[in-house]
């Protein structure tokens, strides 16, 4: 079996390793390639099995997957046409199109390798794009090594290099936290109900409310703190300046969507989500970040997930690129 490569946040590498071994057994042998890249080399799952575990939220700290087909020292990378042959040998048929994604173990994009592969594959009659294709060629460029991988998009978890989603900044942005919600919606292909009613718990300063409005939701934004004036100027936003508990005691509405990015530990945040259930329609979409940190981040996240599962069906759970010491959980109310 070819080695499997998995990308993580640098601080979450050990958590991901633990999750893999909890899921597939203690004999799985794993090597660290760089700060945010690991390699499964023996006694591991297939790429499909690993992807399924990640998609279902049983493994939460992996962001991106690919199957390694070759690795080289940085001074030993073969000519471009040989790299193209290596890639094509792993595909079931000669493709018309391929996505090529490159990244480095720093902040760089590995752009020179993208253009190298683009030219070599283009010479074989293949249209190369950066995303949106059934098969993805991954190229990680480290200080000492270059690693090449190929995978089906459906088993890659993310259509971004190493799972590093880059979202455009805009003058309308209210807070950095907007990126987390936008990434979750795109990564998991979430469909918000047309003309739905959404509840934003802990809304201040209004970043998640703004994104929900972009997706056509009428939003009740609950927070004692103020919202950005650009948000409150929107007639589709109802700012309720109180706590979640007080709002629930008075509310008579039923919501199609509930989101929660409040700064509290995993258990308390999950319990707030349970309090929200009587105010939700059956099947309502829930998006919550479970804040982490500390020595037992994985155990605490699992306890928070157990609380959520009392009233929700958990669909996904993952540490996304724009998460820090937290996880994004997608669920449906029963």
| Catalytic machinery residues | 291
Burial letters for 265-296: b for 16+ Cβ neighbours within 10 Å, e otherwise?
ebeebbebbeebbebbeeebbbbbbbbbeeee
Rounded-to-integer distance, Cα 40 and Cα 6, Å? 8
What's the distance, CA 49 to chain centroid? 18
Pairing of strands 4-7, 64-73: antiparallel
Q: Is 293 left (phi over 0), alpha (psi -120 to 50) or beta?
A: left
168 Cβ neighbours under 8 A, 6+ residues apart = none
> What's the rounded Cα separation, in Å, for the pair 300 and 317?
14
């Amino acid at each position: 079996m070819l080695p499997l490569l998995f990308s993580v946040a640098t601080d979450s590498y050990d958590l991901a390793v633990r999750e893999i071994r909890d899921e597939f057994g203690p004999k799985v042998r794993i090597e660290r390639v760089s700060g945010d890249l690991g390699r499964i080399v023996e006694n591991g799952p297939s790429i499909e099995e690993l992807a399924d575990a990640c998609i279902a939220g049983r493994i939460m700290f992996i962001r991106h997957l690919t199957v390694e087909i070759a690795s080289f020292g940085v001074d030993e990378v073969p000519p471009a046409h040989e790299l193209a042959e290596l890639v094509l040998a792993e595909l079931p048929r000669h493709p018309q199109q391929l996505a090529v994604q490159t990244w480095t173990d720093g902040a760089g994009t590995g752009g020179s390798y993208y253009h190298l592969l683009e030219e070599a594959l283009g010479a074989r009659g293949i249209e190369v794009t950066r995303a949106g294709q059934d098969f993805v060629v991954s190229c990680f460029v480290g200080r000492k090594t270059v690693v090449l991988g190929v995978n089906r998009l459906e088993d890659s978890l993310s259509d971004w290099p190493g799972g590093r989603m880059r979202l455009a900044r805009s003058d309308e942005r209210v807070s950095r936290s907007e990126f987390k919600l936008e990434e979750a919606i795109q990564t998991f292909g979430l469909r918000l109900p047309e003309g739905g009613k959404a509840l934003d718990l802990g809304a201040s300063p209004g970043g998640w409310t703004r994104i929900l409005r972009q997706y056509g939701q009428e939003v009740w934004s609950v927070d004692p703190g103020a919202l950005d004036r650009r948000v409150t100027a929107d007639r589709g936003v109802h700012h309720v300046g109180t706590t979640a508990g007080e709002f629930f005691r008075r509310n008579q509405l039923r919501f199609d969507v509930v989101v929660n990015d409040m700064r509290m530990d995993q258990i308390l945040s999950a319990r707030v989500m349970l309090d929200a259930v009587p105010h939700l329609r059956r099947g309502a979409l829930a998006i919550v970040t479970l804040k982490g940190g500390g020595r037992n981040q994985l155990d605490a996240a699992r306890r928070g997930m157990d609380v959520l599962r009392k009233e929700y069906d958990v669909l996904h759970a993952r540490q996304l690129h724009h998460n820090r010491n937290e996880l994004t959980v997608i669920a449906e109310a029963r």
